[in-house]
Amino acid sequence: MSSKRQVTIVDIAEAAGVSIATVSNVLNRRNVPMSEDTIRKVEEAAERLGYRRNVMAANLSRRKTYELGMLVPGFGGYYGRFAEEMQRKAHLYGYHLSVFSAAGFDPEIEQRHLEVLLQRRVDGLFCHGLAMSHETTRKIVGEGTPLVLFNGWGWPSDIAACAVNLDFAGGCIDAVRHLYDQGSRKLYYFGKAAAHATDRQRRIGFTEGVQRLPEAVPAAIVEFRDAKSLDQLMDEVITASSSDAAGPVGILAFDDVDALAVMSAVFHRGYRVPEDYLVVGINNDPVSKLAYPPLTTIDIPYKEQVRLAIRLMLLELGETERLKQVDGELPHGCSASEQEIRIPLQLIPRMSTLGR
């Protein structure tokens, strides 16, 4: 075959030993019953021959791109793990997912993301509540693109079809009760106001958790900005707690990284975990169980959040047959009055609060 000639689906059909119609069905991800072996042979033949679809022509002919967009505040920690899981799930349903980072809320980058998403005519958009402004997101929705939020609290109801939110508030309520049950009679939440709505949900849960305790317990919310501020903060906490004989001080941190920094600061000052301080993080990062002592944390059900978000999106796109083919059942959508699906979180107790 001449290297100058463009590879066609006829060439792929011959190389894979299947019909031209089968090749078309595989490459266009149509809902036609096919064996995994057939799909694999076609995909391998296409890759071996260097086939490249004319995406623009395909999009114009079917008015559908089978591409989804996703906006996240960054690629670290929770966001990166969520994006990886979402890409795998989107592929399972026959969609490609393009992921964009807000890159520190740079307005020029946000504008560029908007232009690219509109040019690509993505079929649907997932957006973290902190990744893009309401105004910019509304421009995309105004083009007829359905939007599903994740961890988006307080968004206008006319923008998003639904929000799939982790119940950080409920998780923090459980964490406060756990600290109390382990003997803490003085409690702190080390927050990060820069995380906006995500931090507010934690503060709501911490405050409500304290109010639900069987007795009045001294509690405070303090601001944890960086390593330098942590030193001053820990000195203040230790000074305020040194005269108390009310058991270990309980600390709930914004996330696992902050919780590990708190534990390090406690050890540096000659105190012990969990004998003197009980520490809880959030996210269940892999490092949380490798630390010493292993960190009590709140687990994030990535797969469940992804599963619900993408199923809601496919309902918005009218993909009921594709959903039934892959899952065998149809999910319920968000009701007009609900506008939110809240996913409960699980506390994972480890030695940073146990073993006393």
Whole-angstrom distance, CA of residue 286 vs CA of residue 347? 15
Give me the residue spans of the domains in the chain. 9-53, 62-166+302-343, 168-300
Same fold, 62-166+302-343 and 168-300: yes
What dotted CATH number matches 62-166+302-343? 3.40.50.2300
Lowest mean pLDDT, pick from 10-14, 148-152, 251-255, 320-324: 320-324
3-state secondary structure the chain: CCCCCCCCHHHHHHHHCCCHHHHHHHHCCCCCCCCHHHHHHHHHHHHHHCCCCCHHHHHHHHCCCCEEEEEECCCCHHHHHHHHHHHHHHHHCCCEEEEEECCCCCHHHHHHHHHHHHHHCCCEEEEECCCCCHHHHHHHHHCCCCEEEECCCCCCCCCCCEEEEECHHHHHHHHHHHHHHCCCCCEEEEECHHHCHHHHHHHHHHHHHHHHCCCCCCEEEEECCCHHHHHHHHHHHHHHHCCCCCCCEEEEECCHHHHHHHHHHHHHCCCCCCCCEEEECCECCHHHHCCCCCCEEEECCHHHHHHHHHHHHHHHCCCHHHHHHHHCCCCCCCCCCCCEEEECCEEECCCCCCCC
Average pLDDT, the chain: 84
Whole-angstrom distance, CA of residue 335 vs CA of residue 347? 29
Before 293, cis peptide (omega within 30)?
Answer: yes
Specify the CATH number for 168-300; select among 3.40.50.300, 3.90.79.10, 3.40.50.2300, 1.10.630.10: 3.40.50.2300
- What confidence category does residue 55 fall into, taking pLDDT thresholds of 50, 70 and 90? very low
pLDDT of residue 87: 92
pLDDT of residue 117: 75
Nearest 10 degrees: CA dihedral of 192, 196, 197, 198? Answer: -40
pLDDT of residue 29: 63
Kindly state the average pLDDT of the residues 197-208: 96
